[in-house]
Amino acid sequence: MRTVTNSPLLYSAYSFLVPYGDGRNHTIGVVHGTKVIGLIALLLLAREVFMVATITDPAKQEREAYWYPLSATTEFLAVCLFLVPGLVPPRSELPK
């Protein structure tokens, strides 16, 4: 019988939320940065596919039932994912 502590969902959430205790920088962006960047790319790709698919029909492109979930929301989520701690290096770490 499975208990809550053996749940794969709980382990996944734990790996995202709980930092390691060895003093190194293990933020979500450092540990899962490639997955986050991949998700950002997929969201922006979905937005561009929608825009290209409806380029010949501006009325369909501007219809709220399509535009909000396929254009505005995907772009908003992509921008929000850039806020993941450790994904973008601080200015002090950038070369001058």
Instruction: For the chain, give every domain's residue range.
Output: 14-83
pLDDT tens digits, 62-84: 899 989 999 999 999 999 998 88
Residue 15 predicted with pLDDT over 50: yes
* Whether 86 contacts 27, CB under 8 Å: yes
Contact 39, 47 (CB under 8 A): no
| 45 vs 76: CA distance, rounded Å | 13
Residue 5 to residue 2: CA distance in whole angstroms: 8
Please, what is the angle between helix 33-53 and helix 73-81, to 10°?
160
Residue 4 is given by DSSP the state G
Q: Which residues contact 28 (CB under 8 A, 6 or more apart)?
A: 16, 36, 84, 85, 86, 87
24 pLDDT band (50/70/90 cuts)?
low
pLDDT band, very low/low/confident/very high, at 19 (cuts 50, 70, 90): low
